[in-house]
Amino acid sequence: MKYQFPNDFMWGSATSAPQTEGHSLENGKSYSTWDKWFELNPEKFNDNQGPKNTSMMYEYYSEDIEHMKKLGLNSFRTSIAWTRLLPDGKTINQEAVRFYRDYFTKMIKNNIRPIINLFHFDMPWWLMEKGGWENPKSSDWFEFYAKTCFEQFGDIIHDWITFNEPLVHVECSYLNGFHYPAIHDFKKAIAAGYNTLLAHAKAVRTFKKNHYEKDSRIGIILNLTPAYPKSDDKKDKLASRRADLLNIYSFLTPALKGEVNIELINLLKKYNLIDDQNIIYQPEIIKFSEVDFLGINYYQPLRVQAPLTEKKVIKDPTDLYENYIWEDRRVNPYRGWEIYPNAIYDIAKTIDKLTDKPWFISENGMGVANEERFIDNSGIIKDDYRINFMKEHLVQLHKAIDEGVNCIGYHTWTFIDCWSWLNGYKNRYGFYYLDLNNYSRTMKKSGSWFSYLIKNNGFNE
């Protein structure tokens, strides 16, 4: 193979409980913000596709694990639903314990290593009614939930993740309107982000204190979106640095060093964005933020320039930096996202300068609408665009690994087409096509290619 990857490289896919399990208010599960939001405002969801059914892994997981085995996956990331395991935040739902233990055990028996995430945007409604991540006590409730997960599944799960993309549930809930409560308040966003960081730190502290298994480890998954300045002008470079402080180092510095980035704190203080009544810096807790390993989600870069008008009062991140469209960009028209594989190399080299901790690409993928257009006479979706997307990104990742970075795996988003929040099933990402009429799964061409990739631990051009 021209692009050969290290031995024991993790090849897999990622998904989440709320996007796949279905049965959203059955088998003892309580409301999440998504369940309640869909009940209140179904018109906000594409084609009125809510979280009730999704890809129904709750009942199809045994079959799906056979599909994973067919692909050759040696690892798979999913999440536990807080609302399923602890419907009221206090009482264990034994049906959920039974389901998850069987789900994870079947993976292990098929030589698929489960990587289990605790929170994937699915805030319990009972906690949302108490203020959600704005409430400083939210970190204590999360710590209890994390401890429950470790106690119930720590004997079989050895790779734990506290949060998937913590920045996303913060900005989507409190800045851009894509997650409930869909308000716009920069100070509340910062408070919610800080409380999320405390929750992460407390979960790691609990994990380390109890040493559930000697070879177990705990990490966090961050969406790293590197900011590229429009020019070498010092104002554009400053805008790029500020974007990185907010979007990358807000969680990356604590995860690597167990402390909040001082440059970020100074930036927030400069513009009076820290509410001292709701944010009390607690370094004795934050020090536990340091993780054993990292997951990095990458889809698109960020192109920034200095704000055209300098503002003294900052109400939005775009008051600190503005986006621009790079003239040479390629774009996925279905998402409006720039396709820029080189950023994976840049991310890898950045991490390599900061730490020697192991890390992996925990999400990378391409969402396309109306994929039925590409079904051939054999009934297979010919998604060559997805194969080319993966190849381009893997070439850049391979280059970085060849130069010595400690990347231990590559996971795609996703295994089977899944429900995607307000977008429903508008864009498909899976190796398997999901027929929403009967929930049948059919492998796409990309699934065959990924299977070839895993079998050979590499690929040729």
Catalytic residues: 165, 363
User: Burial, 114: exposed, middle or buried (Cβ in 10 Å; 0-12, 13-18, 19+)?
Assistant: buried
Distances (CA, A) of 229 to 129, 314, 347: 40, 20, 15
Residue type, 264: L
| Distance from C-alpha of 85 to C-alpha of 348, rounded to nearest angstrom | 35
**421 within 8 A of 179, measured Cβ to Cβ:** yes
| Distance from C-alpha of 401 to C-alpha of 348, rounded to nearest angstrom | 8
User: Burial, 228: exposed, middle or buried (Cβ in 10 Å; 0-12, 13-18, 19+)?
Assistant: middle
Residue type, 14: A
| Distance from C-alpha of 394 to C-alpha of 45, rounded to nearest angstrom | 33
Return the DSSP state at 322. E
Question: Which residues are bridge partners to 368 per DSSP?
Answer: 428
For residue 222, report the phi and psi dihedrals to the nearest 5 degrees: -120, 140
- Angle between helical axes of 166-174 and 249-257 (0-180°, round to 10): 150
Distances (CA, A) of 346 to 226, 234, 399, 405, 406: 8, 21, 11, 11, 14
| Distance from C-alpha of 228 to C-alpha of 267, rounded to nearest angstrom | 19
**245 within 8 A of 320, measured Cβ to Cβ:** no
Dihedral sign of CA atoms 237, 242, 243, 245 in order? positive
Rounded to 5°, the CA angle 144-93-288 comes to 20
Diameter over CA atoms, the chain: 64
**115 within 8 A of 410, measured Cβ to Cβ:** no
Closest CA to 392 of 345, 323, 337: 345
- Angle between helical axes of 186-210 and 138-153 (0-180°, round to 10): 30
